[in-house]
Structure 1
Amino acid sequence: MSLRQAAERVLLGNWIGHSTVPSRSLYPHQWSWDSAFIAIGLRHLSPRRAQVELESLLGSQWSDGRIPHISFSPAVARDAYFPGPDFWQATTVGGVETSGIIQPPVHALAAWLTHQADEAESVRRNFLPRVYPKLVAWHTYLRTRRDLGGHGLVAIVHPWESGMDNSPAWDDALARVTPAPLDSFTRQDTNHANPTDRPTDLDYARYVQLAATYRDHQYDDATTPFEFALEDPAFNALLITSEHALADIAEYLGLDPAHHLKAAEELTHALGQLFSEDLFHARDLHTDLVPARTISGLIPLIVPGLPQAADLLATARSDHFKLGQVHLVPSYDLTGPAFERKRYWRGPSWFNTAWLVHRGLQAVGAHPDADHLKDDLLALAGRTGFAEYVDPYDGSPRGAQTFSWTAALALDLLESQNAPTQL
C-alpha cells in the first residue's frame, strides 16, 4: 500500500459522517484546530468533504464568535472523554454541546486552501460566502475579547488553548494554580495512551481547576479571575496567517480586504514584543516573558515578511532544536532543563508543528531545510503508522496511532501540487 493510500485509509476510518475524529480511541469527538489541519489534507481526497469538515466545526460556534476547542458528538458515551459535556456545561443556541475554551486559529487558512483545491465545487456549494462571516466573527472575538494585556495580542487562558498542552512554557504559571482534588475527576486519556507519555496527574488537576473556574464564571472573559493568562507566539502567528487568508477570501468575494491586512500588520508589529535575542517567547501577563524555548517560538516563521525570520532560522538550526539533525522539530529545547523526549509537548516532535515550520521554511526561502523536513515527515508518518507524535532522537511512535492530522498533513505534502481525487 502506498503512503497516499495509507493516509486516505486513516482519514476515511476516522470520518464520522460530518467530521473527522483525531483518534477513535483517545479523542472521540471533534477538535477545533485538528479539524482545520484535517481539512487541509482532506482537500486532496475530497474538497467537498474538507468543506463539510470546516462547516461542521463552525456549526458549534458560540454567539460571541468563539470556536470552542471541542464539539461533542451525541453518539459517543458522555463519559468516554474527560472533561466531557457534563463538566463543561456549555451548549450553543443550536443545541450543540461544546467545551468553553478555544484553540489556535488555523481555520481561515484551512478554508482558503480548501477553496483553492476545487474552486468550482466551492462556488457550487457557496462555501466561502457562508464561512467568511463566521471566520470574521471568530477573529473579532479573539482581537476584542482576548486582548487581556492590552498589548494588541491574543491571550490564552488555559494550556489546552495553545494546543501544546503541557509545554514547559506553562510550568511557572501553572504552579500558581491550586489543583482540583485528585479524587474529584477520573482521567480517560491514560486508558488509551502510555501514562509516561501524558501530562502528570498534578498537571491535569490544575487544568481541571482552571477550566472549572472559567466555567463557574460563565466563560466571561471580562469577569473571570484568570490565574493563567499568557500571550503565546504560535497562537498569534497563526492568527496573523489566517488574517492574510481572510484578506484573500474577502478579495475573492469582491469585498475590501484592507481591514484584514491592517489587522495582520498590527498583529505582526505587536508580535515583536515577544521576541528576545533569537526566539519568540510566551509572555505571562502576571510576570513577563517566559524563558522556556519551545516550538511555539519558531512557528512565527509562517508570518509573511517577518523581520526576525533570519534569527529564527538560525535558532532552528542551533543545538536548541537541531533542525535537520533530529527527527522533525522538537517541541522543546533539547538542552533545556525540562526536556523529556517522550512526554507530551515536553520534547517530542509533532507532525502539525513540523508542517507549519515547513511552510515557514518555504516562505523564507530555506528550501534545502524545507525539503529535508518534508522527507523526514513523510518517512516517519509511514513508518510509525501515522503516530500522534514521535521521539525526536529515534523517531519511535508516541501517543495515539492512526492519528488524523498526521495522515492529513502527510497527504498534503504528498499531493499539494496535484489535482484532487473526487470521492
Structure 2
Amino acid sequence: MTATTAGPSAPPVEGAHETRTGRRALRAAASRVLLANWTGSSTVPSHTLYPHQWSWDSAFIAIGLARLSPRRAQRELETLLGAQWGDGRVPHIVFNPAVPHEAYFPSPDFWRSSTAGAAVGAPPDIETSGIVQPPVHALAAWLVHESDPETSGRRRFLERVHPRLTAWHDYLHANRDLGGHGLVSVLHPWEPGMDNSPCWDRPLARVDPVPATSFRRADLTHGDAADRPTDLDYGRYVRLATGYRDRGYTDAGTDSGTGAPHEFTVEDPGFNAFLIVSEHALAAIALTLGRDPQPHRERARALTTALVARLWHPEAGLFLCHDLRTGTPIEEKSVTGLLPLLVPDLPGDIVEALLRTASGDHFGLGSTTALAPSYDLRGRSFDPSRYWRGPAWFNTNWALERGLRQHGAFARADELRQAILASAGRSGFAEYVDPRTGRARGTTDFSWTAAVVLDLLARTEDPGQDVDR
C-alpha cells in the first residue's frame, strides 16, 4: 500500500440533508473524504491519527464506498481479509510498510505478529496487530454485493470472500467462547472497538500499567489530549497487549499464577450483536452461492438465545457487558447495550424496552441529543469530549438507525438518519461529536463518517433499500 497525501479538511456542509441540492453537496464532500483517504488498496480512517488499515473501520468504509465504487469497496474488504491469520482471526490493524513506525503506536515492532504469532498462523509477509475488532465484515460484504450484484457476480466477489468470512466466524466460535456460555469474549478494550469506554474501568483497574515513560504516544501529536485516553489507560492497554503477544497470541489457557482467564475477559453485547447480524449475512451469501445457509442461521439463533439469557438486564433496560473474571455484570450503561437492536429476532418486549432506554434520560435520543452518546448521559464518568466516554459516534448511530428501521420504528429511524446527515455535514465529517452540541471532536475528514453518510444518502434517494421497508 502506498500512502497518499490527505487533502484539505472538508468544510462544513450546512443544511445538507434538507434539499436535493444540499444532499448532492454532502455526497460530493463525503466522496472527497474517501477518495483522499484511499491508499490504492484500502482506506485509512485518517492520514494523521490512524495511518493504517483498521478492521471494523474497513467494514463500515466498504458499506459507504460501495455507493461510490463497488469495485473499490470489494478491494477494501479483500485487502483486509488478505491479512487474515491461519487460525481465522482478522487482525484489528493491517500495517502499511510505507508508513514510518513512529507515526503510530503501537507499531509493527511492538506487535511482532509475523514472529510472535507464527505458531497460530500470522502471515509471514504482512505485519498486523494480534487482537481483533467487531465482526461487521460479513454484513459489509453482503451490503457491498447488494449495491451492485452484477459487478459482484462478474468478479466472483462473494465466492472469494465467503471462505475467509466463514473461517473468521469459526475462529470466534471455537476460540473466544471463554465463558462457555455461547457468547464471544474480548481480551482487550480495543477489541470491542469502544476503546476507552467507562465499561472497561473496573476490569482495567486490576491491570498493572506499564510506566508511561516506556512508550511514546503518537496520537497526542495529532489529537487534543482532552479527547484522548489518559496515559494511565494507555499503560494498561500496553500491558494487556504485551501479555497476549508474549503468550504467542493464544486464546486458550490462563494467566500465569492466577488460575483465571485472561486478565481482561469480557462478554460485550455490541460485539456479539454484530456477529449475529453477520451470521445472518453469511446465510444470505451462502444461499446466493447455492450453499447451505442453515449452519449460519443456527449459529445466529444460538447466539441470540445466549445474548438474551446472559446479557439482557430488564432492570437496566438494556444489555450490559459481563466481566468473566469476576462473574458479574458491568453496570455502566453504554451504547454497546443498545446495539442488539440490530438483531432481527429479539423478543418484542426487549425491543420496546431498548426503544424506551434510547430515548430516555440516559441516552436522550431525539430529545436532549440528536445522536446517541457512546455512554450514559447521567453516568459518573460521562465526558462529552473524551474518546468513547460520552461523545456520539457515527458508526454506532448508523447501526442504531438500521436497528430502529428493522423493528418498525420508521419515524424514529428517519429522524436519526437526518440527524446523522446534518451532524456529519456541519462537523466536517468528524470522528465523533459532542452529543448535545454537535461540536466536532477527535479528527475530521474521518472515513467511516463519510462512508455512513454515503450509505444513508443512497437509501434516502431509494427508500426501497431500507431494512424491512
Q: TM-score, normalised by structure 1?
A: 0.98
Distance between the aligned counterparts of 1:328 and 1:417, measured in 2? 18
2:343 maps to a residue whose letter is V
Equivalent of residue 41 in structure 1, options 53, 59, 64: 64
What displacement does 1:223 show? Answer: 3.1
- Mapped contact 2:64–2:450 kept (Cα < 8 A): yes
- Mapped contact 1:214–1:224 kept (Cα < 8 A): no
Give the 3-state SS of the residue equivalent to 1:162 in structure 2: coil
What displacement does 1:93 show? Answer: 2.8
Considering only aligned residues, what root-mean-square deviation do their CA atoms show, in Å? Answer: 1.0
What residue in structure 2 maps to residue 276 of structure 1?
313
What displacement does 1:369 show? Answer: 1.0
Give the 3-state SS of the residue equivalent to 2:66 in structure 1: helix
Query: Residues 7-406 of structure 1 correspond to what in structure 2 (within 5 A)?
Result: 7-91=30-114, 92-93=122-123, 95-223=125-253, 225=255, 226-272=262-308, 273-277=310-314, 278-287=317-326, 288-307=328-347, 308-325=350-367, 326-406=369-449
Q: Deviations over 1:369-411 (max 9, x none)?
A: 1111111110111111100000011100000110000000011
- Mapped contact 1:39–1:53 kept (Cα < 8 A): yes
1:219 maps to a residue whose letter is Y
Distance between the aligned counterparts of 1:342 and 1:93, measured in 2? 38
- Mapped contact 1:327–1:391 kept (Cα < 8 A): no
Q: Deviations over 1:217-266 (max 9, x none)?
A: 00000135211000000000000000000000000000010000000000
Q: Deviations over 1:60-89 (max 9, x none)?
A: 100000000000001111221000000000
Distance between the aligned counterparts of 1:224 and 1:369, measured in 2? 45
Q: Deviations over 1:333-367 (max 9, x none)?
A: 10111111111111100000000000000011111
1:363 maps to a residue whose letter is Q
Distance between the aligned counterparts of 2:449 and 2:359, measured in 1? 23
- Mapped contact 1:324–1:373 kept (Cα < 8 A): yes
What displacement does 1:286 show? Answer: 1.2
2:251 maps to a residue whose letter is D
1:222 maps to a residue whose letter is A
Change (3 A) 1:224 1:89: farther
Distance between the aligned counterparts of 2:163 and 2:150, measured in 1? 20
Give the 3-state SS of the residue equivalent to 1:377 in structure 2: helix
Q: TM-score, normalised by structure 2?
A: 0.88
Distance between the aligned counterparts of 1:161 and 1:416, measured in 2? 30
Point out where structure 1 has 5 or more consecutive residues left out of the alignment.
none
1:174 maps to a residue whose letter is L
Q: Deviations over 1:258-307 (max 9, x none)?
A: 00000000000000110112110000001211000000000000000211
